[in-house]
C-alpha cells in the first residue's frame, strides 16, 4: 500500500504533509512530517498542485486558506479535533461579549468560523513569542485551550482571559503516575506539550510544540525522556535518536496509550483512495476564507 501511494503521488505530482501524531506507516511516506506550524509553512513553500494533509480538519483548512489555488485533500473528512469542536461560534461570541475591546488570540486548533472571529492565530510553537509582542495594557482573550493559555500567560508574563477548553488526550495524563515514573527514572528528562495541565507542566524539564519536543530530544544531553504528548511522536523520536530511550507518559487508566482517535482515523487505505479519486477535497466559502486569512497572516508576520 505504501508503494502504491508513492507511485500515485509521483504520477500526480502530489505531496503528503503529515502530523507527528499519524501512524508511523503514514509518517514514513510523507514528504514532510511536522507540527501544526511546520505543516502550514511547508505547504506554503511547495508548488505541488495537490497536497494530502494527514492530520485533522483544522490543519487541512488552515493550509487551504493559505493556499487557495492548491487542491487540498483530507483522507478522512471526519478527522476533527474535539478541542476545536467544543468551541462553537455561539459560545465563543458569548465569551467575547463579556470582554469588550479585548484582543482575541486564538489557538490554531479551532474552526475557521472561530478564526474569523479572532485577531491573531497562534500555534503551540509560536504562542509565547506572539503574546510577548502584544502591548502591555492590552486586554487579551485566549482560546480555546486553557492549559496552553495558562502556560503562555506565565511564560510571556501577560495576563490572559482564558476560554475554558481542553484536549482530552493531553488532560488524560496522570500526575500521580508521572511522579512514580519520575522516581523510577531520576535520570530522565520529562518533556511535555503545553496542552497538558499545569500540574504536569510545572514538573517538566522542557515544554514545547511537538516539533520543539522532537528537537529537544535530538539536541539535549539527556539519554532518557518521559514523553507527555500523543504516542505518534515517539516514532520520529526513536528514529532520530536510536540510542536514546523514550518512555510514554502514563495516562489516567495506567495503560500509557494516549492516542488521539481523530488523528488515527487516517489510514494508508484512505490516503490511497483519496489520492486516486482526488476527494474528499477541502473547500471553503470565499468570504469565510477571506476573514480567517487575516489573523492567520498576522500570525505569520509575528512569528
Ligand atoms: P502541535 O502544533 O504542537 O503539533 O500540536 C498539535 C496538536 O493537535 C496537539 O494536540
Ligand atoms: Fe485535538 Fe487533542 Fe487530538 Fe490535538 S490531540 S488533534 S488537540 S483532540
Query: Which ligand 2 atom sits nearest the alpha carbon of residue 230?
Result: 5
Query: What whole-number distance in Å separates Cα of residue 144 and Cα of residue 166?
Result: 7
The protein residue whose alpha carbon is closest to atom 7 in ligand 2 is 167
Is there a contact between 293 and 65 (Cβ–Cβ < 8 Å)? yes
Domain 2-80+263-283 has CATH 3.40.50.2300: no
Sheet holding 140-143, edge to edge: 120-122, 103-107, 140-143, 161-162
CA distance 209 to 28: 20
- The CA 81 to ligand 2 mean position distance, Å, reads 5
Q: Is the CB of 241 under 6 A from ligand 1?
A: no
Tell me, using a 6 A CB cutoff, whether residue 124 lines ligand 1: yes
**pLDDT per position as a tens digit, 201-212:** 999 999 999 999
Q: pTM of the entire structure?
A: 0.97
Helix count (H) and strand count (E) of the chain? 15, 12
Question: Which residues of the chain does CATH 3.40.50.10800 include?
Answer: 2-80+263-283, 83-166, 175-248
Q: Residues 6 or more apart from 277 whose CB is under 8 A from it?
A: none
52-110 confidence digits (pLDDT tens): 999 999 999 999 999 999 999 999 999 999 999 999 999 999 999 999 999 999 999 99
Percent of the chain with pLDDT over 90: 96
Fold of 83-166: Rossmann fold (3.40.50)
User: 175-248 — its CATH code?
Assistant: 3.40.50.10800
To the nearest whole number, what is the mean pLDDT of the chain?
97
- Find out whether the beta carbon of 109 lies less than 6 Å from any atom of ligand 2: yes
Ligand nearest, relative to CA of residue 85: 2
Ligand 2 centroid from CA 169, angstroms: 7
**223 alpha carbon to ligand 1 midpoint, in Å?**
24
Mean pLDDT confidence for 119-131: 98
Cis peptide before 144 (omega within 30 of 0): yes
**36 CB within 6 A, ligand 1:** yes
What CA–CA distance (Å, rounded) separates 282 from 198?
A: 35
Using pLDDT thresholds of 50, 70 and 90, give the confidence band for residue 257: low
Residue nearest to atom 8 of ligand 2 (CA): 81
Amino acid at each position: 500500500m505504501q508503494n502504491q501511494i508513492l507511485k500515485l503521488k509521483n504520477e500526480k505530482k502530489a505531496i503528503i504533509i503529515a502530523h507527528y501524531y499519524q501512524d508511523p506507516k503514514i509518517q514514513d511516506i510523507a514528504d514532510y512530517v511536522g507540527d501544526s506550524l511546520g505543516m502550514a509553512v511547508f505547504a506554503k513553500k511547495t508548488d505541488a498542485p495537490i497536497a494530502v494533509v494527514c492530520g485533522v480538519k483544522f490543519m487541512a483548512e488552515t493550509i487551504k486558506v493559505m493556499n487557495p489555488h492548491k487542491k487540498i485533500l483530507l483522507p478522512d473528512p471526519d478527522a476533527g479535533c474535539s478541542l476545536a469542536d467544543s468551541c462553537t461560534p455561539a459560545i465563543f461570541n458569548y465569551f467575547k461579549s463579556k470582554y469588550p475591546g479585548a484582543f482575541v488570540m486564538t489557538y490554531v486548533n479551532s474552526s475557521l468560523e472561530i478564526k474569523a472571529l479572532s485577531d491573531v492565530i497562534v500555534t503551540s510553537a509560536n504562542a509565547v513569542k506572539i503574546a510577548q509582542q502584544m502591548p502591555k495594557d492590552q486586554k487579551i482573550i485566549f482560546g480555546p485551550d486553557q492549559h496552553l493559555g495558562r502556560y503562555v500567560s506565565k511564560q510571556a508574563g501577560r495576563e490572559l482571559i482564558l476560554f475554558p477548553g481542553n484536549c482530552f488526550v493531553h488532560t488524560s495524563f496522570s500526575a500521580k503516575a508521572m511522579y512514580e515514573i519520575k522516581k523510577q527514572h531520576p535520570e530522565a528528562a520529562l518533556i511535555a506539550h503545553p496542552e497538558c495541565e499545569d500540574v504536569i507542566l510545572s514538573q517538566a524539564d522542557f515544554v514545547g510544540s511537538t516539533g520543539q519536543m522532537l528537537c529537544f530530544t535530538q539536541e539535549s544531553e539527556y539519554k532518557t525522556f518521559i514523553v507527555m504528548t500523543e504516542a505518534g511522536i515517539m516514532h520520529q523520536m526513536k528514529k532520530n535518536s536510536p540510542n536514546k530511550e523514550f518512555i510514554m507518559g502514563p495516562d489516567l487508566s495506567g495503560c500509557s496509550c494516549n492516542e488521539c482517535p481523530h488523528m488515527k482515523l487516517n489510514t494508508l487505505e484512505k490516503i490511497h483512495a483519496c489520492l486516486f479519486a482526488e476527494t474528499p477535497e477541502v473547500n471553503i466559502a470565499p468570504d469565510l476564507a477571506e476573514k480567517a486569512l487575516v489573523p492567520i497572516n498576522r500570525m505569520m508576520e509575528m512569528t
